[in-house]
Structure formats: structure tokens, C-alpha cells
A and B are shown apart, each in its own frame.
Chain A
Amino acid sequence: MSEIELVSGPDAPGGELMAGVASVLGAPAAERRRSLRQLPQGLALRLYTAMARLRAFDERAVILQRQGTIGTYPPYYGEEAVQAASVLALDDRDWLFPTYRQNAVATLRGCPPESPLLLWRGNPAGWYDVHRYRTAPICVPVATNYPHAVGAAWGSRLRGESTVALAFGGDGSTSPGDFHEACNLAAVVVAPVIFLVTNNQWAISTPVQQQTKVTRLADKATAYGIPGVRVDSFDVFACYEAVAAAAARGRAGLGPTLIEAVGYRLGPHGTADEPSLYRDPERARLWAGMEPLGRAGAAMVDAGLTTLEALEEIRESAVAEMLLAGDQLEAVPVPELEEIADRVHLSTPWTLSPDHLREPSYPRAG
């Protein structure tokens, strides 16, 4: 495991911001090894595999964007632990409500990686089956997915089902009113929902200190009378425990939980972003040692759960899978104009009907 340089400053690794967050990998070596060895059989490797696949997808997507195969893309390098832990800690019947930065989580539930890639290519073939993977379409407008998740969770409770819903978000998403209305309603109706807020300290170019006065986002939970927990966002095992505990609370009828996964956005906001214009690259380098895949792998080898070779094999196989998926994209036919409104409305209005769109008078590009 690489040495993490501890520097002064509240928002650095080992600083005030991370003080007291739940962490498995941050524990002293003996305790860390004991914790990893006590995990259920095969869980560590499953978490590692999920993270490796997410990583390979993300790296492939960035390459495809640079090649012009897909359009703009929001990389999630460094957030793999939060995403992999959430999917694995939940039951496959539980609902996920991702944002653009969790655009590939459905692939951890069997969705072919081509689907999200085609989405970024602007091809309707990229719409995966929402019900099959219990994963809602990604939401790009910030915080809009929180009330969706509350609705799903409340519905599940009213129907007497035991499923929970999890909504992802970032530090910036805690400022819009949607976040407040979602937390408020979820707490009132005791909805089994998990608000998983990854505090990566940056909302595009706005630092979290310019976003809200609260330094620990989990403290916002107090206003709703719900638990707010803080966890190391680069620690897949700690994230797993936090989500599993929140899901158990929800299933027991105890209502919502706010999880703040604390860390740093290691990469740019999107493929059209240049973070060095607004933040010190040195700071990102300080956090680079926390990168979750390598960190988990090193700890697993250290605990004797696996070997470096086995992990390399997992990563190689993930890279091959995503390479193949990327190669499929150009062969998928370009959509017809008539498909533009598919899956937008429950019943398509006549202005967007195929007949109307085929009218010679309909304005066309070029």
C-alpha cells in the first residue's frame, strides 16, 4: 500500500474533514486484517471485481469520448468504492436511483455495458430496462433523483414489500430544495430510503465550503430527525457496512438514513472540465493515494485473502470486457428520427408522432 502523506489542512486526507469517519482500511494493520478475514466468504473478491469492472468501464468511456465515439462523459474515477459497495450491500430487488456519475451501476446488475455507453452516444438503444435491473434512468439535473427514490421507497412500504431504495448524490446536491423536500417527506412517512451523498468537496468548480455552512454534511440529518453517518468514500468495506446497516434500518421500518461518503473528486467533473483552472493540482495528488481499487487490493493481499496475480487477472478480464463493449457501439444502427420521443411520454403527443415527424413540412437539419 502506498504511503499516504498526511498534511495539515482540514480538507486533506487525514485532516479534520476525515476525522471520525467510519473506516475499515484506515484501522491499524492487525485490526484491518482481522476485519477483512471476518468478511463473508468471497465478499471481498466480489467487491473488488465490481470495482474493477466499474473502473474499466470508466477508463474505456473516457477513451471513447476522446475518440469521438461517445459525447460528453462524467468520469467517476475514485468513486468506485461507493458505487460497488452500494449495489452489493443491497438486495437485487432494491431500487437504485443513480445520477450521471453512477451511470454504469446497472452493469453490476447484469446490464450490458454497451447500454450506458450507447446512452452517451445519444442512441436510444442505450435505454436499459429499468424494471429488470431495478435501476432508474440516470438523472442529470442535480438532486432530482432524491424525491424519486422517496416515492419508490414509500410505495414499497405502502404495498408491504421489504425493498428499500437508494439515491446517489454529491455534496452540491444537498443545496437544492429537492434534497430538503425528499428528506423531510421520507422522514415523515418513514420511507425505507438511503440518501448516499458522496462529499467529494467539489460541485463542478464550487468547493463545498462555498456551498453550505455545514462542514459535515451528515449533520443535515439532524434537521429531519434521521440518522446521519459518515464513512470513508475510498473504503469499499466501510461503505458496504454503512449501506448494509442503512438498508437493515429501512427494512425494519425505521425509515431513512443519510450517508455522507467523505473523500475527494480525484478527476475532473466531466470530459469538458479542466480542474487545474480552479483548484490546486497538488491537493488532488495528496488524495491520489486513497484511490479505492488499489487500496482495497493491497489490503486484501496483505490479509492473505488473495494474491496480486489473481487481482491482476480480475482487472484484465474487466478491461477486455469493456474493450469489447466499446467495439460494439459503432455497429449499432443510427436511430431513426421517429425514435426521438420513444420512452419520453407514456402516450406520445401527436406533435411527436412518427406520422407527424415524417411530414415533409417538418423542419430538418441541413
Chain B
Amino acid sequence: MPTNPKTNRTGSRPTSRRAVARQLPHGLTAQQCREMYHKMVQIRHFEDHAAEAYAQAKVGGFLHLYIGEEAVAVGAIAAAREDDHILGHYRDHGYALARGCDVQACMAELFGRETGICHGRGGSMHLADAKRHFWGGHAIVGSHIPIGAGMAYAMQYLEEPLVVLDFFGDGATGNGIFHEGLNMAALWNLPVVFICENNLYGMGATLAEESPVSDMMIKAEGYTMPAVQCDGMDVLSVYGAVQQAAEHCRSGKGPFFVEALTYRFRGHSMADPELYRDKEEVRRWRELDPIPRFGDFLVQHRISSQQELAQVNEEAEAEMLEAVRFADASPWPDPSTAARGVYANPIDPEAAQEALTLAADPAPAAS
């Protein structure tokens, strides 16, 4: 059997089910591994269909695909408690699906339909599901970093044993708000795991153009925050890192910084011609595709058979086709409800109507 040079994990074939369990890292069970594979496959198929729908002009606004980075969301979220809080950036479909949000509602949200997870008001960049403690994709780079620190402060204040997973990219670390969020989190010992998805590019800016250090974890030193780097193309590596980080936070030792080395196989958004990187680089990273890589691991460890993996893929494909049909058939939101969910205390409808009337028919200028 071959040895994977990156993970240094040999593929020696175990003999019994019990031996399998002994060989799995981080206390994972075979069932948990199968679930992680399933989630990654779901995300991949969801994104493929989102891209297709976008090309058919069924999705408005921007679309940022998570293809290539699936292991980060899946490994991290699997390593946390089901009710730990999650925040992320605009490349957010992966977090929603990894947390188990309804696939049809997520697709319908992209389509801007009333049946969407945010009733069609958020779109691709603003998926959120309060009952699953997924507090959303955030379109403004870095904006959710202090929000995550604030949520962690609430958990500490309320003495709840929950931690916050806050995902952001390498580009976000150049933002002042990153600094303010990490400074406060470190100072107040807040239970937040900062997860930096270092995919080497901030839109079209290379790492060297945006950051003076190539390892994002070095930035944690400015806050005396413990940090660890993991292989973002290996779901087990991410799982182990976030498990360690979440334990650290939950035991009251303050924040933890996790850097996941990953890569997006597609452009920054659907409008990106990718002139800043060469195809050879993309090809090399595609060889590290986290899905077949983890699939090989499952087969080698007799957790799943090739047929079972193929079936997972077929089922995900069917599920996404159904989600697209559901979204297509869903009604549009009623325009008169556009302000719903904007204000905590909704504005007076009469005053709003008056303002609309004025806007439609401005009073003649005083002579």
C-alpha cells in the first residue's frame, strides 16, 4: 500500500472492526468518518449545482464556491459540539451544510425564494440558521471576527459551556478589525476558536501582496494566543486541530488560533477570470482534493467500500437535483415584506408608507 507523504499515514490493511477503531485518530468512530465524507460530498455537489444555476441566471448577486475547501468546514464543525456557535465569511455554503442545515432551504436561499433559509432575503453570502447556532455568512471581510468575540463573551458571561468557531480567510487578517477582535478575545480569555482558511489569495492578491508573513498562525503571537497549523486538505487534520482548540476554549483557557492550509479550486467568485494564478498550480492542488483523499482513507481502513462511496455520491447528486427543482418551484417573497427581519423593532408601517409616497412624488421645491 502507498504511503501518503503529506499525512505520513500508511495504508496497512487492518484485520478486524476493532482494529479499525483503534487506528482511527482523535477518538473518531467509523460512523463519524462516514458522516464527514458524506458532508464533504454534499457540499461539492451543492456547489456544482449552484454554479450551474448561476450560469443560468437563477442566482442573483455574487456566488463564491467552497470547492476544494470542504475539509475545513466539515472537519472543524464535526469537532465541535452540535450547539457550539458558528460564524463565517461570505463563502458560507460549506458551513451551513456541515452544520446540517436543510439543503433545499439553502438552495432556495440562493435562488432568492420565500422558502429559503432566510426567506430569500440573504442570498448566497448570508445563509444563517439561528436554531442550529449558525450565525451566518458575513459579506464584509473580517466584520464577523469581533462579533464572534462578542458571542464568546456572552457565553463566558452566561457561564454556558459553548465555544464559538469563527471562520475567515487569509485576506481578513490584514484588516484592523481582525486585530481588535483578537486583542479583546485574548485579553478577556474568551472561548473562541479563530479558524483562518489560508487559501493563498485575498481575491486576486497573492499572500505576499497582502501579508508580511506567510504563516497566518504567526499573527497569533501578537496576542500571546496559542496557535496550530493544520492540513486543510485533510479532514482528519482539521478535526484534530479544532478538537484541541475547542477543548482549550471550553476549559476556560481563552481563545485559540487554527490555521488551515487550503486552496479554492475555483475562482474567487463566478466573475473571476483567475489571471493571477497559473493552471499548473491549480492542477497540483487538485491532486490533494480532500474528498477522494479521504475516500481512499475510508476504503483502506475498511470503513466504507468503493461501492458505498459511489452510492454516497449518487445520493448527493440526486439530493441536489431535487433541491434545485424545489428552489425553482418555490414562490418569490412578497415585496411588501421586504423590511421583515431588518429591524429588531419593526418600523411603523404608516410612517413607512408616508416615506414611500414622498419618495414616489416629491413635493415641488419651495419657490
Contacts and interface: CB of A to CB of B under 8 A. Distances in A.
Contacts of A348: none
Nearest to B185: A213
Nearest to B221: A222
Given A219-B221, A223-B218, A225-B218, A181 B213 contact: no
B335 interface: no
Interface string A96-123: 0000000000000000000000000000
B180 A177 contact: yes
Interface residues of B, number: 25
Interface in B179-226: 179-180, 183, 186-187, 208-213, 218-225
A223 B209 CA distance: 16
A175 interface: yes
Contact of B177 (A177, A184, A210, A226): A177
Given A213-B187, A214-B222, A187 B180 contact: no
A220 B222 contact: yes
B174 interface: yes
A68 to B, nearest CB: 39
Contacts of B178: 177, 180
A211 interface: yes
B219 A223 contact: yes
Chain A at the B interface: mostly helix, strand, loop or mixed? helix
A176 B219 CA distance: 16
Contact of A181 (B174, B212, B218, B222): B174
A212 interface: yes
B212 A188 contact: yes
Contacts of A184: 173-174, 211-212
Q: Give the most central of B212, B219, B224: most A CB within 10 Å.
A: B212
A209 B103 CA distance: 47
A212 B183 contact: yes
Contacts of A11: none
Nearest to B179: A180
A224 interface: yes
A127 interface: no
A258 to B, nearest CB: 10
Nearest to B173: A184
A241 interface: no
A159 B223 CA distance: 35
B222 A177 contact: no
A10 to B, nearest CB: 15
B177, B183, B208, B213, most chain A CB atoms within 10 A: B183
B183 A175 contact: yes
Contacts of A187: 212
A177 B218 contact: no
B187 A188 contact: no
A176 B186 contact: no
A226 B183 CA distance: 19
Given A225-B213, A225-B218, A214 B224 contact: yes
B221 A177 contact: no
A178 interface: yes
A213 B218 contact: no
Interface in A176-229: 176-181, 184-185, 187-188, 210-214, 219-220, 222-226
Interface of B: 173-180, 183, 186-187, 208-213, 218-225
The 4 closest A-B pairs by CB, nearest first: A177-B176, A180-B179, A187-B212, A223-B222
23 contacts: A175-B180, A176-B180, A178-B176, A179-B176, A180-B176, A180-B178, A184-B173, A185-B174, A187-B212, A188-B210, A188-B211, A210-B187, A212-B183, A212-B223, A213-B183, A213-B224, A214-B224, A222-B221, A222-B222, A223-B219, A223-B223, A224-B212, A225-B213
Interface of A: 175-181, 184-185, 187-188, 210-214, 219-220, 222-226
Given A212-B187, A222-B222, 19 more contacts: A175-B179, A175-B180, A176-B179, A177-B175, A178-B176, A179-B176, A180-B175, A180-B179, A181-B174, A184-B174, A188-B209, A211-B187, A212-B186, A213-B183, A213-B187, A214-B224, A219-B222, A224-B213, A226-B212
